[in-house]
Structure 1
Amino acid sequence: MRLSISDRFVPFLLVLGSIVSLSIGTSIAKDLLFPVIGPTGTTALRTGFSALILLLIWRPWRQPIRGRDVKFIAFYGLTLGMMNLCFYLALNTIPFALAVAIEFIGPLTVTVIYSRKPTDFIWIALATVGILLILPLNGSDSGLDITGVLFALGAAFCWGLYIVFGKRVSHLHSGHTVAIGLIFASMVTLPAGINELGPLFDHPWILLIGFMIAGISSALPMSLEMAALRRLPHKTFGILISMEPAVAAIVAFFMLAESLTPVQLVAVAFSICAGVGSAMTARAKIDTLPV
């Protein structure tokens, strides 16, 4: 049966909409909230409001959850919180697109570990070369803050764990899992950012911006991704989501005036190629990881 034009392009538009929404929300956070409450305060607001929004949407308390599942949801949520915290700390000192490109090494590593297909090591090598291109090695000055790079690598590590723990609870309702997981994520981000939230009393508009960012960066992208996954094979979805570093570079250029050097653009290209290649050739996908 031939697919209609809408059947072919709607899933693509859903994934693109998710990536653009996430990029815009993150850029707004960096532009408007970082100068006032810093990356830790911003992360606390984002995860806290995201949890509130998704709890109201999905109301997970209506369905009982086994104790074993709660344990893995807790691990899933805690790694989600650490991932967001490390990523926003990375954004504080390095460009958005480069932080995304570095973070992608996390899911790529998980793919290689569980696939065990020799060609998959090509993709992790590409991503690694991309990172090496932007690191200040051998005394060279890349203009990139090493602390920010390390935080991005920390976010990559947490993203890998997030995928593994997410598989452990993949049999549960995805909306319920994410909503409850964000409660545990807030247990990480709120203590880390609580000391930065003092300006809320002088600038109540921060709460409105934080709520908006939570919707644009979490609730809307996740809803679009869930709709796309119902229409796309996981492999195709993985290929499309690999566009994220490129979209982040474009959005950050217009919203944050962040421009990349030629070498940094090559590094982003390596990340995109690694993501696309991994999605195309992986033999054992993440949705078939052993439970």
Structure 2
Amino acid sequence: MALGSMTSVQLSLALSADQFDRISPIGAAWLRMAWGGLLLLVPARPRRADFTRAGFRVCVVLGLVSAAMMTFFMLAVARIPLGTASALEFLGPLGVSLYGARGSGLRRWSGLAAAGVVLLTRPWHGGTDLAGIALALGAGACWAGYILLTQRAGDEVDGLKGLAVSLTVAGIASTAVAGPGVIGGLTPSLLAVGLGLAALAPLIPFSLELLALRRLTASSFGTLMSVEPAIAMAMGAVLLGQVPGPTAAIGAACVIGAGIAAVRTGDRTGDRTAAVGPPSGRPATSLPALDDGRAAADRVSG
């Protein structure tokens, strides 16, 4: 599921060059978030009764973080090379991997993944725009929060109802920030293309990541995300004619190996079996600090 998510994202990016030129990268990001919320809100039909107070709050915060993540990253790549921005942004999921790792196993694979990302993106070839670097780091921090919040939303809310709320919130937030400067330049063809690209990203990837985070720990999922630069390299070679060199090939081998190892060592099944689930019968998350926050919220709501 995580691999399917990353493939969908990179395919969407490879098909987005024309849209970026016509309404700017941040405009294209806004259009996707807005369409994504509409596409999922109608079939999922979330109701207030589907959420606890804490669960609804998590979904709202997830939507805001998702919108910020995409906005920061698009602004970063407008200032610094994509490879540099990608390497800096990956510090977010890498931090999740290292923070949640138990013993030396996942830490070792996280280190291998980080080395692979550096080889793939070669950030030393990038610029030194401090604002661009700060924006990419902001996107990485949002990505780390997105992983943790998506796992919590999947544990709190059944099905894709929580994602429907978070994508709707992300669409509203993106509209408030980018919509006024872009809406006037929209055409029927741009709207149609945006609808198709919204299915590839964020609708399909966010849905798959929600399901994946019900099975994987946040730390192993963060490590698995390092496979995405390798997928991007393959998409570039097939669709854009960007054949990788030896350094990129070695980097791809590193991140793929780390991703496979993360999946083999990071299944959440053991955590769920050992843990006592909450009264609702939903699986207990593997994040103790967040569990304490949910318990407190439940006591207040009760």
Q: Name the TM tier (shorter chain).
A: 0.7 to 0.9
Contact 2:216–2:267 (CA<8 Å) still a contact in 1?
no
CA-to-aligned-CA distance 1:215-257 (integer Å, 9 cap, x gap): 1223334455667789xx537x958765432222111233344
Map 1:1-291 → 2, pairs under 5 A: 17-29=4-16, 31-61=17-47, 63-92=49-78, 94-95=81-82, 103-130=89-116, 134-136=122-124, 142-143=125-126, 151-169=135-153, 170-198=155-183, 200-201=185-186, 203-223=187-207, 234=216, 238=221, 243-282=227-266, 287-290=285-288, 291=291
TM-score by length of 2: 0.72
State the distance in 2 between where 1:276 and 1:103 align: 21
Give the SS at the match of 1:288: coil
**Matching residue's letter, 1:50:** G
**Matching residue's letter, 1:33:** Q
Contact 2:216–2:266 (CA<8 Å) still a contact in 1?
no
Query: How many equivalent residue pairs?
Result: 267
Contact 2:5–2:204 (CA<8 Å) still a contact in 1?
yes
Report the aligned-residue RMSD. Answer: 3.5
CA-to-aligned-CA distance 1:24-75 (integer Å, 9 cap, x gap): 112222x121111111111110101000000012011264423332222222
**Matching residue's letter, 2:216:** H
2:274 matched residue in structure 1: none
1:4 matched residue in structure 2: none
**Matching residue's letter, 1:19:** M
Structure 2: segments with no counterpart, 5+ residues: 272-283, 292-302
- Identity, % of aligned pairs? 28
Contact 2:34–2:172 (CA<8 Å) still a contact in 1?
no
State the distance in 2 between where 1:115 and 1:41 align: 37
In terms of mean alpha carbon deviation, does 126-135 or 43-52 score higher? Answer: 126-135
State the distance in 1 between where 2:148 and 2:113 align: 20
Contact 1:123–1:274 (CA<8 Å) still a contact in 2?
yes
Residue 280 (structure 1) shift: 3.5
Give the SS at the match of 2:160: helix
